[in-house]
Structure 1
Amino acid sequence: MSRPPLKPSNRTPIRQAAVSPTFSPLYRQIKELMVRALGAGEWAPGAAIPSESELAVRFGVSQGTVRKAIDEMAAENLLVRRQGKGTFVASHNDPRSFYRFLRLTPDDGAVRQARSEPLSCRNAAATDTVARVLRLQVGDPVVVLERLLRFDGDPVVLDEIILPADIFGTLTLDMLKHADRSLYSVFESQFAVRMIRAEERLRAVAADVQVASLLGVAEGDPLLLVERVTYTYGDRPVEWRRGRYATGHYHYFNELS
């Protein structure tokens, strides 16, 4: 007999009932409640979550059910297990996740030191395309920034990044220039936004005069255009990024399984 969706107990600050249909596995219902807690900021990035036994009591299920929910969240990089220490909310401040979404690899396999160089940060109005991608209204305010990503000093990626101003409206070029962490770490620490997943589309383009000058290539040289839409909790798109990659000594690498 299928069990009805769970509701959090009176001890939990989450007030919404689970909206999963009755045929949803029980652990998935627990996962949904935990993701809502993450989105509501109940557990901050880098913070430890309650133990499996505490969560089992909270949700009125077995520890095995909680463990299965946590396993799936860890596989999706929402949580991080640390041997002997517990389970923590994943954070962009973890050096292992600095370039989690960057799939650019040197041809020789050597490790290269990456550095972000902000170029501009301005306010703009959402065009038809921007509004469609970020689920905004045409004319809504957005923030547009450009930055170079250098590897061992060499410019390799030129990014144009568009962000909804209702979240990132106070972002400034000075803030970016003085940041000593990855861009997503800045978004997380300054705006409480964590990037959960991304969708990318790749195509080949030719370098125009301005892009060629910034990337140190010849006009007309082939570049890899990587368009990325990044989502936060609640599957809300919060970033549209268009990166032009100089692949003279680098390649795009993605492991499939």
Structure 2
Amino acid sequence: MSDAPLTDRGSAPADRSASSAAFSPLYQQIKGLLLQSLDRGEWKPGESIPSELELAARFQVSQGTVRKAIDELASENLLLRRQGKGTFVATHHEAKVRFRFLRLAPDDGKQSVSGSRILDCRRVKAPADISTLLELRSGEAVVNMRRLLTFDQTATILDDIWLPGAVFRGLTAESLGRYRGPLYGLFESEYGVSMVRAEEKIKAVSASDDQARLLQVAPGSALLQVERVSYTYGDRPMEVRRGLYVTERFHYRNSLN
């Protein structure tokens, strides 16, 4: 889909066979064009996008159509509205966006102080299952890191993370050790990769001796395993993350619509 003018008509474009977008509502087509601009980096994370009036003129549609497209992108945390300031591209450096993929919540509802420690980071040949999930060719390199997350200084999550090696060149244990912000914020600012959605699989597992040692629990303790595949624009997979969660004081929370 290009930035060609669109019309606010209820009917689909004349050539119905040209694209499946012909059958989608007009605001969805505008949403697709906005996503293309975000993917191309026309507006960077944290930057403001043009006003609704400017975008309506650009796409030759009504302001209401643009507003509906932006509303959807805002509900998906890809854009952020700021009263009196405009609409901005979401960034993982913002508190509202930073933890949107982390669904672990304290049982007592109190805010915990989080900490992160990188245990290992190296370039390796991608295991077959990781290659499949990241849509890589067999044998391609990946960056594999292991990270321990603490809450109120208590070990709570052990993450094993795989990233496409060609995209994350230069990511090392040393560079991670110097960084103090959110991991997705680093991916965004240093590698131009914004994680915009994720899919997860969850199951109960027992802690191995090594996992139990790192998480400071007894071997064989029940853990929650969360496998997440995170995607950037265009539904391109950019991360596989397998986390082991200690849930003695926490629960996994999700909203179903």
| TM-score band w.r.t. shorter chain | over 0.9
Rounded Cα–Cα distance in structure 2 between residues aligned with 1:167 and 1:178: 20
In the TM superposition, what is the alpha-carbon distance from 1:220 to its structure 2 partner?
0.5
In the TM superposition, what is the alpha-carbon distance from 1:19 to its structure 2 partner?
4.6
TM-score (norm 1): 0.92
In the TM superposition, what is the alpha-carbon distance from 1:121 to its structure 2 partner?
0.5
Rounded Cα–Cα distance in structure 1 between residues aligned with 2:87 and 2:73: 11
The Cα RMSD (Å) is: 1.3
Rounded Cα–Cα distance in structure 2 between residues aligned with 1:222 and 1:56: 54
| Structure 1 partner of 2:146 | 146
Deviations, residues 74-116 of structure 1 (Å, cap 9, x unaligned):
1111111111000000110101222111111112221101111
| Structure 1 partner of 2:228 | 228
Rounded Cα–Cα distance in structure 1 between residues aligned with 2:12 and 2:110: 53
In the TM superposition, what is the alpha-carbon distance from 1:169 to its structure 2 partner?
2.1
In the TM superposition, what is the alpha-carbon distance from 1:184 to its structure 2 partner?
0.6
| 1:49–1:88 contact (8 Å) kept in structure 2 | yes
| Structure 2 SS opposite 1:136 | coil
Rounded Cα–Cα distance in structure 2 between residues aligned with 1:128 and 1:152: 37
In the TM superposition, what is the alpha-carbon distance from 1:117 to its structure 2 partner?
0.8
Task: Confirm or deny that 1:69 pairs with 2:69.
Answer: yes
In the TM superposition, what is the alpha-carbon distance from 1:119 to its structure 2 partner?
0.8
| 1:126–1:137 contact (8 Å) kept in structure 2 | no
TM-score (norm 2): 0.92
| Equivalent residues in 2 for 1:183-194, closer than 5 Å | 183-194=183-194
| 1:20–1:29 contact (8 Å) kept in structure 2 | no
| Structure 2 SS opposite 1:21 | helix
| Structure 2 partner of 1:4 | 13
Rounded Cα–Cα distance in structure 1 between residues aligned with 2:205 and 2:170: 33
Unaligned runs of 5+ in 1: 6-17
Aligned letter for 1:177?
Answer: G
Rounded Cα–Cα distance in structure 2 between residues aligned with 1:89 and 1:53: 17
Deviations, residues 196-254 of structure 1 (Å, cap 9, x unaligned):
00011111111111110000001111101000000000000100000001112111111
| 2:77–2:97 contact (8 Å) kept in structure 1 | no
| Amino-acid identity (%) | 54
In the TM superposition, what is the alpha-carbon distance from 1:21 to its structure 2 partner?
3.1
| Structure 2 partner of 1:11 | none
Aligned letter for 1:140?
Answer: E
Unaligned runs of 5+ in 2: 1-9
